[in-house]
Structure 1
Amino acid sequence: MPSIRGHEYFLAVILTGYIMYKTCLAQEDENTTFAYDYNYTTDYDIYNGFPEVCSKAANRQFRQWFIPTFYAIICFLGLTGNLLVILTYFYFKRLKTMTDVYLLNLSFADLLFVISLPFWAFNSMNEWVLGLPVCKIMHTIYKVTFYSSMFLLSSISVDRYFAISKAISAHKHRSQAVFFSKIASMVMWVLALIFSVPEMIFTTINNNACTPYKSNNDTLRVSLQSSQITLAFLIPLIVMGFCYSNIIWTLSQTRGFERNRAIKVILAVVAVFLIFQTPYNIVLFWTTIVTAKGGTTICNNDNSQLYATDITQCIAFFRCCLNPFVYAFIGVKFRHDVLKLLKDLGCMSRERFFKYTCAQRKASLATETDSTTTFSP
C-alpha cells in the first residue's frame, strides 16, 4: 500500500471536516428554520435568500424584569382594594342595590384574577413545570374573570342609566332589583364560563411554555382573538358609551354642585376604561390581522409586536386595581364604612378615624343616597 504524503494527509483532514460541517448545518436548518414560537422566528436574508433565525433574547430579558415587577404591583394593590370592598360588603351587609351586587361580583372577579398573577409571572420567567392541568386552570381563570368583569362593568352602567335617566320606572321595581341583579350576576358568570371553554380545550404546553395556542399563525387564534375583541371590548364600550352619555345628558338638565361632581365621576369611569383597555385591544387587533395573513417574516415587526403585547397587557391588567377606587370608594358612605372596618380590625386608631370621618362630612355638602356608588364623591 502506498504511503500518504504529509500534504495529502492535511488536505484529506480539511475535506473531511468540511463535509461534517455542512452535514451539521443541514441538520440544524432542518430543526430550526421552519419552527415558530416565542423563542425565535425566521427572517430572510435579502442577499442570498436563505432563512435565518430571528433572536428573541432581548424580549426574554425584558419580560423577566418587566412582567414580574408589574404583576407584583398589580397583585398587591388588587388584593388590598378588592379585599376591602368584599369585607366591607359582608361586614356591613351593604347589598341594598343592583350596583352593590354587581360591585361585589366585580371584586370577586378581580380578586380571582390577581391571585392567578404569580403563575403568569412564573410562566414569563421560567420553563413551565407545573403540568398541563395547572396551565389550563390558569388560563381559564383569566378568561372567566376577564369576561365576567367586562359584563359586570356594562351592567353597572345599565343600572346607573335606569337609576338616573329612568328614575321613575326604576323606583317602581326597586324591591325586585336586588333579586334580579343576583340572577343576572349568575347568568354573567355562566356566560363567561361558556366563552372560556375554548381556552380550556386548546390551552397547551408549547416549547416549555403554557400557551393557549399551538402555533402563531392559526385560524383558531384568529377566531378566539376576534371574539374576545367583540365580546369583551366593543360591546361593553357601546353599552357604556350609550348609558353614560344619556346619564350626562340627563344630569345636564339639572342644576347644582352635585351635578358637576357626578359628571366628573362619570368621565373618570369612561376614561379609565378607555385608557387601560383600548391600547391592548388595538394591539390584539393588530396581531389578529397579522396572524390571519399567515404571520410575519420580518424580525423587527415580530419583536415590536411582542413588546407591544407585553406592555399593553400589563396596562390592561392594572384596571383591576382601579375598579374599587373608581366604582366603590367614590361613595362617601362607602369610604366611611371602609374606615370603620379598618378601625374595628385594629388597623386605625379612634382618633385618626374621627379625624378622617369629620373631614369627609365637611367635604360632603349634600347627603348621599342609599346607593354606594352614587355619582358623587
Structure 2
Amino acid sequence: MDPTATTTDYYDGSDDDYDNNPGTEEVIATPCNQESIYGFARNYSPIVYCLVFVLAVVGNVLVLCVIRRYRNSQSGGACAFSLTDTFLLHLAISDLLLAFTLPLFAVQWANQWVFGTAVCKISGALFSLNRYSGILFLACISFDRYLAIVHAVRSGWKRNTCHAQLACATIWVVCLGLSGVDIAFKQVVPVGHNDDERMQVCQIWFTANSDQWQVSLQLVSLSLGFGLPLLVMLYCYVQIFRSLCNATRRQRRKSLRLIISLVSVFVICWAPYNCFQLADSLQKLRVVAGGCDFNQVLDIGILITESVGLSHCALNPLLYGFVGVKFRRELLKMCKEMLGQKGWVGIERLKNRRSRKSTGSLTSAESEQTSYSVMI
C-alpha cells in the first residue's frame, strides 16, 4: 500500500462497498464517520513526509557522491566495481525515487490532490516500484554479505559484479511489473461523506470486487515487500553469525553490532505496518469482526506505521553507508577535496589513528573480505 490509500481504502471497503454495489443482498450499514481520520492525516502526514523527504535526499545524495568518487578512482570498468557497492548504488537510487514522491502526497494531505490523473498514476507507480525494489536490494546486500563472509573464506569464491548488474536489472523489471497495478487503477477520486469537506485524493480505485482486489494486493505486499526479504536476511545473518564466531572477540562484537542493527531496523520499520495490513486483510475476509471502532484503529495504525516504514529510506544511508570505515574515509576525502587542505590536519591525524586501530583488529581473512568495498 502507499500513502494514498491510508483512510479511504479501509473505511470504504469495510462498509461493504455501499457506493459501488447498491444491489447486493447484504444490508448496508450506515457509513462510519471518517472526518477524524482525515483531520489526523492532514496534521500528521505532511510533516512526516516532508521530514523523511529531506533526510532521505541528503543522505542518499551523499551516498551516490561517495560511490561515484570511489568508482571513478577504480580501474577495470563497470564489472570491476564490487557487488556490495553495486547494490548500494541501486538502493540509493531506489530510496531517492521513493523520497521524491513524498512531497506530492504531503500536498495531498495538506490540501488535496491537485496534480491531475497522469501524475497520480506515475507517482503511485514510482512509489510502489521503489518500495518493492528498495526492500529487495536490502535482501541482495544481505546475500552478498553472506557470500563474502561465509563462503569466500572457505572456498575463495570470486564474485562477478556483472552478475549483480543483471540481478539489479531483474529486480527493476519485476518491480515495474508490480507497479503496473498503479498505472491501471490509480484514480483521483473524492472522499469524505460530508459534501462540504470532500477532498480529491490519488488512490487505487476498483469499480467492482473492491475487497477481493485489495486483499490480493495486500498479500502480495506482505510476501514480496516484507516476508521474503526478511527470510533471506534472517538466513544470511544467522549464517554470518555462525561464521563470525571464529573471528577475534573485538571484531566479532563490531560485526554482530552491525548485523543486529541491520535486521532490527528493517523489522522495526516494516513489521508494524505489515501487521496492520494483515489485520485489515483478515477483516476484509470476514475472519475478524469489523466495526467502526476497529476500522478507526486500523486506519490510524496504518497511517502511523506506514510513515515509520517510509523512514527506512532515510535510515539506509546510515546503516549501509556511514557505519562503514571506508565509506567515512571516502566521505572525508571528498569533503577535503571540496573545501581544500586548510583545517584538515587534525582530522587526518585522528582518522589515521582510528584507522590503524580498526585495521589492527581485523583478521587477515576479514581484511580481504572488506577491502574491495567502499561501504565496509
Equivalent residue for 1:64, pick from 42, 55, 63: 42
Whether the 8 Å CA contact 2:10–2:299 is kept in 1: the answer is no
Shift of 1:343: 2.7
Provide, for residues 273-313 of structure 1, a one-character-per-residue CA deviation record: whole Å limited to 9, x for no partner: 11111001101111112223399762211211110010000
1:147/1:232 contact within 8 Å kept: yes
Change in CA separation of 1:331 and 1:371 when aligned onto 2, cut-off 3 Å: farther
Q: TM-score, normalised by structure 2?
A: 0.81
Task: Report the CA distance between 1:41 and its aligned residue.
Answer: 7.8
**Structure-1 residue corresponding to 2:193:** none
Deviation at 1:70, TM superposition (A): 1.1
Amino acid of the structure 2 residue aligned with 1:372: S
Equivalent in 163, 175, 200 of residue 183 of structure 2: 200
Q: Is the 8 A contact 1:40 1:56 kept in 2?
A: no
- Residue of structure 2 equivalent to 1:190: 173
Higher CA-based Rg: 1
Query: Alignment partner for residue 315 of structure 2, among 317, 322, 337?
Result: 322
Taking CA–CA contacts closer than 8 Å with sequence separation of 6 or more, which of the two structures ends up with the larger relative contact order? 2
One-letter amino acid matched to 2:179: S
Q: Tell me how many residue pairs correspond in the alignment.
A: 334
Inter-partner Cα distance in structure 2 for 1:316 and 1:36 = 19
CA distance in 1 between counterparts of 2:185 and 2:28 reads: 33
- Out of 211, 221, 224, which is 2:203 matched to? 211
Residues 298 and 352 (structure 1 numbering): CA distance in 2 closer, same or farther, change over 3 Å? farther
Consecutive unaligned residues of structure 2, counting only runs of 5 or more, are: 1-7, 17-26, 75-79, 191-199
Q: Tell me how far 1:270 sits from its aligned partner.
A: 0.6
What CA distance in whole angstroms lies between the structure 2 residues aligned with 1:86 and 1:296?
48
Mean alpha-carbon deviation: is it higher for 109-118 or for 63-72? 63-72
Name the CA distance, whole Å, in 1 between partners of 2:223 and 2:9.
27
CA contact 2:83–2:144 (8 Å) conserved in 1: yes
> What whole-Å deviation, never above 9, does each CA across 1:315-359 have from its counterpart, x for those lacking one?
000111111111122111110111222232339953564365246
SS in 1 for 2:32: strand
The runs of 5 or more residues in structure 1 that have no matched partner are 1-34, 44-48
Amino acid at match of 1:139: G
- Between the aligned partners of 2:40 and 2:350, the Cα distance in structure 1 is 42
How far apart, CA to CA, are the structure 1 residues paired with 2:315 and 2:248?
Answer: 30
Distance 1:40 1:199, change over 3 A: closer
Q: Single out whichever of 314-323 and 245-254 deviates more from structure 2.
A: 245-254
Residue 256 to residue 298, structure 1, CA distance change in 2 (3 Å): closer
Residue 217 of structure 1 deviates from its aligned partner by 4.4
Provide the secondary structure at the position in 1 that maps to 2:97: helix
Partners of 2:250 and 2:361 within 8 A in 1: no
Distance 1:356 1:214, change over 3 A: farther
Match of 2:59 in 1: 81
Q: How does 1:140-155 map to 2 (within 5 A)?
A: 140-155=125-140
1:248 to 232, 237, 241: 241
Following superposition, the deviation at residue 55 of structure 1 comes to 2.1
2:99 and 2:155 map into 1 onto residues whose CA distance is 35
